[in-house]
Amino acid sequence: MVDLRLAKRLIGKGLEANERRKKIIKFKESTWKCVYFLSGELLSLSVTYNEPWFKSTRYFWVGPGEQGWPDQKIKLKLKAVYMYAAGFYTYSIFALLFWETRRSDFGVSMSHHVATVVLIVLSYIFRFARVGSVVLAIHDASDVFLEMGKMAKYGACEWLANVSFLLFVASWIILRLIYFPFWILRSTSYEVLLTLDKEKHKFEGPIYYYIFNTLLFSLLVLHIYWWVLMFRMLVKQIQSRGQLGDDVRSDSEGEEEHED
């Protein structure tokens, strides 16, 4: 009987230590991502906020002056935004494969990272950097709150996790489910055809129009998928009177751990 109680106690301590180690690993992952998303958001805003295309999507394609796509100049600081984002999302593909905790939305996350890298590369090559800079700005904002919420959850700070989750949901709805489809996608699929001279700009080619927009719409599909997960989490939070689950975007079931 004594040996049985001792065994249960030792096993319990071992499980507790293992769970603590997993949370520390996840906390480090979220801290690193939060640093990137916050710095990336500040960089994107500092570069694009005073540009005309930040406030009017028409300037994605024309202006200032006589400039028009694809002859618009890409400023050095805008190139820096692109290099910064391309580096992070390329790293994220390898991190997801080899280093990060394996979560149940692995396939969806990998699809998102690959689509993002392809979009960054194509939009830079084909001079869609104005569109890309705004897309990066509205995406990074939501992820700042996501990673803050995860860090707070892993650190057992429930009130900060709850606040971060609510800000994350609000920013996701406004930026990714409203602004992204009704302003960005509308401009890349409809407004561009009305703005550019079709005789001068062969925009409706397979890469310029269909592939680029297909990738952007694929991001919207992923946004909707993740919103379904968030809505479930929000319902659970209300039912449990403000207590969040282990993760604020992906299901925690079936997680695997990569050794450092």
Predicted pLDDT at 7? 44
Taking only the tens place, the pLDDT of each residue in 48-79 is: 999 999 999 999 988 777 777 878 888 999 99
Of residues 244 and 2, more confidently modeled: 244
What is the average pLDDT score of the chain? 83
Mind listing the pLDDT tens digit for each residue in 95-122? Answer: 889 887 777 778 888 999 999 999 999 9
- When pLDDT is cut at 50, 70 and 90, the band that residue 45 belongs to is very high
Residue 90's nearest CA partner among 107, 110, 70 is: 110
pLDDT at 123 over 60: yes
**Rounded to two decimals, what is the model's pTM?**
0.82
Which residues contact residue 69 at a Cβ distance below 8 angstroms, ignoring those fewer than 6 apart?
60, 61, 62, 127, 128, 192, 196, 201, 203
Distance CA 183, CA 120 (A): 19
CA distances from 195 to 63, 106, 191, 247 (A): 11, 39, 6, 43
pLDDT exceeds cutoff 50 at 6: no
Q: Which value, in Å, is the radius of gyration of the alpha carbons in the chain?
A: 22
C-alpha 249/C-alpha 152 separation (Å) is: 14
In 3D, which of 213, 206, 174 has the Cα closest to residue 191? 213
- Please tell me the predicted confidence (pLDDT) of residue 67: 77
pLDDT per residue as tens digits for the range 181-237: 999 999 999 998 888 766 665 555 666 788 889 999 999 999 999 999 888 887 877
What is the mean predicted confidence (pLDDT) over 242-250? 54
Q: What is the pLDDT of residue 213?
A: 92
Largest CA distance in the chain: 88
Comparing 10 with 242, the larger pLDDT belongs to 242
Q: Token pair for residue 94?
A: 């390898």
Confidence class of residue 2 from pLDDT cuts 50, 70 and 90? Answer: very low
Side-chain half-sphere exposure of 172, counting CA atoms within 13 A: 24
CB 217 within 8 A of CB 190: no
Q: Where are the domains of the chain?
A: 29-239
